[in-house]
Structure 1
Amino acid sequence: MSTTTAEIAGRELTFNKEGHLASFGDWDPEIAEALAADEGLTLTECHWKVIDFLRAYYETHEMPPSPRVIIRAIGEDLSAHVPCTRKHLEALFPNGGCKQACRVAGLPRAYCQSC
């Protein structure tokens, strides 16, 4: 697998060929902000709820949750007035939905098959 390095938020980081962090442990909120900005996103409270859930789930299961699991677990927090749907989740991350969320959350692409 080919990798590249780049300086993000003042740190030298390794990325895989799909642009995901090669090491889950290299991520921090400052890195997330920089990755999101590179993708044209400004992270809101809703984005952070998804990112935090993805990282916690990955730490426990060593794989990301499916969009359905995300919606079941935190959908009410994301959309209190109308039912949260996959389209709502994809609207938060318009350049790839769950896959974009996985990139910003620092999950390796190889583990984002369920998205």
Structure 2
Amino acid sequence: MFTTTTELAGRTLEFNKAGYLVSFDDWDREIAQALASQEGLALTERHWKVIEFLRAYYRIHEIPPSPRVIIQAIGQELSVYGPYTRKHLEALFLNGGCKQACRIAGLPRAYCQFC
């Protein structure tokens, strides 16, 4: 597997060719902030709810959740104005929807089978 070593947030980290962290355990909130900043994204409370859900789900299932699972699990927390949809999730992470969310959350998979 092709990997590259990158200096980020004062640490040396390995990323795969698609830009995902190789090691799930290398991630922390500072790394997430740096990854988001590289993509021009300022993380809000709603972003953090999604990121924390992704990490918790991955820790248990070892695969990323589908957007549908994300919406069913935490959609009500993300929107007080009515049903939360996939379009809302994609608008939150403008550079790739759940793929960008997975990358910032430090999930080591290079793909999201649901996106």
- Give the TM-score, by structure 1 length: 0.97
Aligned length: 115
Do 1:4 and 1:15's aligned partners in 2 also have CA atoms closer than 8 Å?
Answer: yes
Between the aligned partners of 1:97 and 1:37, the Cα distance in structure 2 is 16
Give the C-alpha shift of residue 114 in structure 1: 2.3
Between the aligned partners of 1:30 and 1:110, the Cα distance in structure 2 is 21
Give the C-alpha shift of residue 109 in structure 1: 2.8
Between the aligned partners of 2:114 and 2:22, the Cα distance in structure 1 is 18
- Give the TM-score, by structure 2 length: 0.97
- Structure 2 residue aligned with 1:97: 97
Amino acid aligned to 1:33 = Q
Between the aligned partners of 1:110 and 1:44, the Cα distance in structure 2 is 24
Give the C-alpha shift of residue 108 in structure 1: 1.6
Between the aligned partners of 1:16 and 1:113, the Cα distance in structure 2 is 17
Between the aligned partners of 2:109 and 2:95, the Cα distance in structure 1 is 15
SS at match of 1:110: coil
Structure 1 segments of 4+ aligned residues over 3 angstroms from their partners: none
- Structure 2 residue aligned with 1:58: 58
Give the C-alpha shift of residue 35 in structure 1: 0.1
Amino acid aligned to 2:57 = Y
Structure 1 residue runs of 5 or longer lacking an equivalent are: none
Do 2:18 and 2:110's aligned partners in 1 also have CA atoms closer than 8 Å?
Answer: no
Do 1:63 and 1:111's aligned partners in 2 also have CA atoms closer than 8 Å?
Answer: no
Do 2:71 and 2:84's aligned partners in 1 also have CA atoms closer than 8 Å?
Answer: yes
Give the C-alpha shift of residue 111 in structure 1: 5.4
Percent identical across equivalent pairs? Answer: 75
